Structure 1
Amino acid sequence: MSGDQAGIFVGGGGEAYAAPQTLLLKYGNRHGLIAGATGTGKTVTLQVLAEGFSAAGVPVFLSDVKGDLSGMGVAGSADHKLHEAFSKRAATIGLDLVYAACPVTYWDLYGEQGHPIRATISEMGPLLLSRLLELTEPQEGVLNVAFRLADEEGLPLLDLKDLQAMLVFIGENAQSISTRYGLVSTTSVGAIQRRLLVLENQGGAQLFGEPALALADLMQVDAQGRGHVNLLAADKLMNSPRLYATFLLWLLSELFEELPEVGDPDKPKLVFFFDEAHLLFNDAPKALVEKVEQVARLIRSKGVGVYFITQNPADVPENILGQLGNRVQHALRAFTARDQKDLRLAAETYRPNPRFATEDAIRDVGTGEAVTSFLEAKGIPSVVERTLIRPPASQLGPIDPALRAQLLAASPLHGKYEAVIDRDSAFEKLRARAEVAAREANAPAQPEGGLSLDPQEVREFNKGRRYDGGASRAPKPAAPPKSAPRRSDSVTEAFAKSFARQLGTKSGQAIVRGVLGSLFRKR
């Protein structure tokens, strides 16, 4: 194919009257859906589409939920147990099957199976963090105060310890802060801190920090003009489904915010596959679903195609489902009355084919077969067809850890994200202010030099141990006279008094931060 008919061959019917099924690159940013029950072939379809976009020079981002997509970095082989079946399928649909690897960049939030992938707390924003932490409305309000106060005071929120330090300060100064920002409950502060502790125990702390992901690194093209397949290891991440969904939604929002408008390009600038899409919408507040719908509608003009992968089309809200022009529907099971209703509704979303009943076809197609509909010229959906999905060119199934390590070492991004950078941010700045406040208070218990920390103490503090202000080294102060008022030796309290006085005189423009860009600013 050439020109505006260039596309990705997805499969065929093996029948004289069944047209080959092709996803036109010109409409690749019109979004899509891959649906079907477990074991019906969704993963192979995902792999085939990702290969096709990559070969056309379009970078791809997808999640390896089950750990069996890592083989995309290796060419398929005649030694594979499914080679005979693949060869037969290729002959049936008229495909000259040539095995080939894709240029793959491996990512892993935990840094175990790929390059670490991080965002800063500030980039994530209060709305998505509230969703991640399952906060109530009052708790979300306190989190918004923390972000606003951090902006006005020039306290960057980069990692979890920055946010934790900010919340400690707010709890210590709840009365003063409430006067300016509205009621701040110490109970809410404590609840947020406990949620952050749970997130930290689940490994979520590794998501936050620097160096943060540069979106340009997701949009690389190799020397042969093939788009890189960015593969996120998500088998372990799926143990924290809310963290998984929130991270992918954040990434989608960053793409929306940072990429320029391109109109209708000849092919997408990036294709984003959102596997296990139901996790994005489960228990999501109405406002969040509305914003996802808005982003899905508008991000098309940035040249980004979004493809949702889920078991049932009903998992995707109707307003979003209506925007998905390229569809591959594998078999749906209809054992219950609700299943039958979902099957009927799924069939009604396709342009009917007079040769067969769409509802029957969706129920009856076998593994590796699907009913498909792709956008044709002028963006009109094609009639639904029963389609045998083509075999993948890359290896089907995972690769061994040794080979993955070799591919990681050869990656152009090797060494860029592995080392954590911990620059001065809210945690360090609050600590420094507290030290100054304590020195100004001229606490008798402090040795010369005040609260300066030696490197070992800094390391211990950063590991989460509570710093005792050097009390283990300092001589104990003499007890004050009984008649004298008791003087607090808390560093936090000493700083709190100093900072509370500053609070009323500070002014400045808060950094504009809305999750999903300006869309999430209240109108």
Structure 2
Amino acid sequence: MSKKEEFFSYINEGYQCKGDFITLGAGMLGEETVTNALVNIPLKTLNRHGLIAGATGTGKTKTLQVLAENMSEKGIPVLLMDVKGDLSGLAQPSPGHAKINERHEKIGIPFNATKFPIEILSISEQDGVRLRATVSEFGPVLLSRILDLTETQTGIVAIIFKYCDDNQFPLLDLKDFKKMLQFITAEGKEELATEYGRISTASTGAILRKVIEIEQQGGDLFFGEKSFEVDDLTRVDENGRGVISVLRLTDIQDKPKLFSTFMLQLLAEVYETFPEQGDSGRPELIIFIDEAHLVFEEASKALLNQIESIVKLIRSKGIGLYFVTQNPDDVPQDVLAQLGMKVQHALRAFTAKDRKAIKLASENYPDSEYYDTKEVLTQLGIGEALVTVLNEKGIPTPLARTMLRAPMSRMDVLTDKEIQEVLSNSKLIPKYNKEVDRESAYEMLTEKIEKINKEKTEEDEREEREKMRRRTTTRSRSTRQNPIVKVLTSATFIRSVFGILKKVM
């Protein structure tokens, strides 16, 4: 048996699937693509999470696009974080190209240009279906972790939530929470001290500064109503294809706090909402997090622990998380260890630090007699990657240098006109884009503070009137004379007057 035939058997045995699957591309022996040596991913292990890594310009986003397309075709809904703004092209078919046809001939699968059902979402001022969540939905623990609060400050946040629950004050947006901080620092200080204990003004001030930090990054747009229902991420179209929800994030690359806040809330909400399903034949939802370092780079230790816990547990809900980033080191080791599929595009060795990173990255992959992983990582071309996934038994497949298939949809952004067409056909915009500002903690506390201030003013006025009355009474008593003294004084006065008159006359 020739080396090529051995390799063909190596790939086909390692990536064969009895159940439904997605074809990612064909294995490569050296620089040669081995036709029909197909690299397949079983649908049943897609919820075991994944990583797509590689240097800028090596094809990570197109790999994401290929995976999303094929999942959609299999009826699996997808959520994409579109940080660079180049994934909206999924809504239009690829115009095709001779090089695409050549690539697919080498792989051994036909190329079919296709458009896919997409929904454009937004958490900022960009056009799209508005994603919002209320402060109450975060809860005191998650909100405290996002704000990176101390233990004492976390206790104060818990008191705020408890007080609002006890008094039926809805905490919907950030102005509600800020008003509550104002209330417990001033007018409500004594009331809360009686029931919950003394609250430090310095601590409430520190919490307020953290809230303002989130607010300045656009949190005032994200917190509020109408809350987005995560079930709307799991829709399929009339042809049975999974809807691809594209979250436009091109204007928040410099707002990592808002991005990590949104991601953590979304994952927590999905985990709380979706039913337990274990290892079913296919996932309920796949979430791709592009530029994943934005989630992790400014996260506190407590926040990272929360993310790691959700990544470990959310698989059982039928949810797969796929992190897309330049270097595997951008993802914490405890998270990286949970990722069943790894697609590694080329890495560049320009510096000593780069070479060290490549050595570490190569150790994340199974050994193979066909590849020197460390060397191959610097030799991969655009649209090529080292791939390992979990087979149907949950065992890592052999390492495969893979010629990846091309996206079936447009590899470019939609025009403004095309975006407006997608938005006009949206079934979710009428549901979520009407701004709601019902009576909540802000209005109720404002009314309560006004009542307290009015009562205090009235009390102050009563006390002032009482003081005036006492002063008047005291003055009246001091000027009242004994009757005998009064008569004598009057007589003396008369005599004096008449004496003067008499003398004058």
- Normalising by structure 2, we get a TM-score of 0.83
Structure 2 contact 36–108 (Cα < 8 Å) conserved: no
Residue among 112, 115, 137 paired with 2:126: 112
| Percentage of pairs with the same residue | 43
- Structure 1: which 5+ residue stretches go unaligned? 446-476, 486-523
Residues 247-279 of structure 1 deviation map (CA, whole Å, 9 limit, x = unaligned): 011101111111001111111000011222223
1:431 aligns with 2:431: no
Deviates more, 1:265-274 or 1:345-354: 345-354
Distance 2:433 2:227 in 1: 11
Could you tell me which residue of structure 2 aligns to residue 70 of structure 1?
88
Q: What is the identity, as a one-letter code, of the residue corresponding to 1:407?
A: V
- 2:200 maps to 185
CA distance in 2, matches of 1:113, 1:284: 28
CA shift, 1:293, in A, is 2.2
- Partner residue in 2 for 1:58: 76
- Aligned pair partner of 1:342 in 336, 352, 357: 357
Aligned-pair CA distance for 1:215: 1.0
Amino acid at match of 2:135: I
In terms of fraction of residues, the more helix-rich structure is 2
- Paired position in structure 2 for 1:140: 154
Q: Which moved more, 1:234-243 or 1:9-18?
A: 9-18
Aligned length: 450
Asked if the contact 2:34–2:106 (Cα under 8 Å) also holds between the matched residues in 1, the reply is no
* 1:45 partner amino acid: T
Separation in structure 2 between the aligned mates of residue 134 and residue 328 of structure 1, nearest angstrom: 33
User: Could you tell me which residue of structure 2 aligns to residue 455 of structure 1?
Assistant: none
Residues of 1 paired with 2:371 and 2:449: CA distance? 74
Q: Deviations over 1:30-76 (max 9, x none)?
A: 11110111111110011111111111101011111001111111111
1:44 match: 62
> Partner of 1:273: helix, strand, or coil?
strand
Identify the residue that residue 462 of structure 1 maps to in structure 2. Answer: none
The reply to whether residue 86 of structure 1 matches residue 100 of structure 2 is: yes
Q: How does 1:290-305 map to 2 (within 5 A)?
A: 290-305=305-320
Alignment of 1:345-424 (within 5 A): 345-424=360-439
Question: What corresponds to 1:26 in structure 2?
Answer: 44
TM-score by length of 1: 0.80
* Corresponding position: 1:168 with 2:187: no
Could you tell me which of 98, 123, 137 is aligned with 2:137? Answer: 123
Letter in 1 for 2:78: V
Task: Report if aligned partners of 1:174, 1:186 keep a CA contact under 8 Å in 2.
Answer: no
- Using the TM superposition, give the Cα deviation of residue 405 of structure 1 relative to its aligned residue in structure 2, in angstroms: 0.9
Q: Provide closer, same or farther for how the CA distance between residues 296 and 134 of structure 1 changes in structure 2, counting only shifts above 3 A.
A: closer
Instruction: Give the 3-state SS of the residue equivalent to 1:371 in structure 2.
Output: strand
For the residue of structure 2 that corresponds to 1:19, the secondary structure is: strand
Q: Which amino acid aligns with 1:417?
A: Y
RMSD of aligned residue pairs (Cα, Å)? 2.7
Cα distance in structure 1, aligned partners of 2:142 and 2:98:
47
Partner of 2:476: none
Shift of 1:5: 2.8
- Aligned equivalents of 2:295 and 2:243: distance in 1? 25
Matched position secondary structure for 2:41: strand
Please give the alpha-carbon distance, in whole angstroms, between the structure 1 residues aligned to 2:256 and 2:57.
21
Task: Write out per-residue CA displacement over residues 299-336 of structure 1, whole angstroms, 9 at most, x where no aligned residue.
Answer: 11111111111111122222221211111001122333
Tell me which amino acid in the other structure corresponds to 2:140: P
Judge which range, 67-76 or 314-323, deviates more. Answer: 314-323
Give 5+ residue unaligned stretches, structure 2: 1-14, 470-505
Q: Distance in 1 between matches of 2:282 and 2:147?
A: 37
- Residues 40, 368 of structure 1: 8 Å contact kept: yes
Superposed displacement of residue 192, structure 1: 2.6
Structure 1 residue 482: Cα displacement: 11
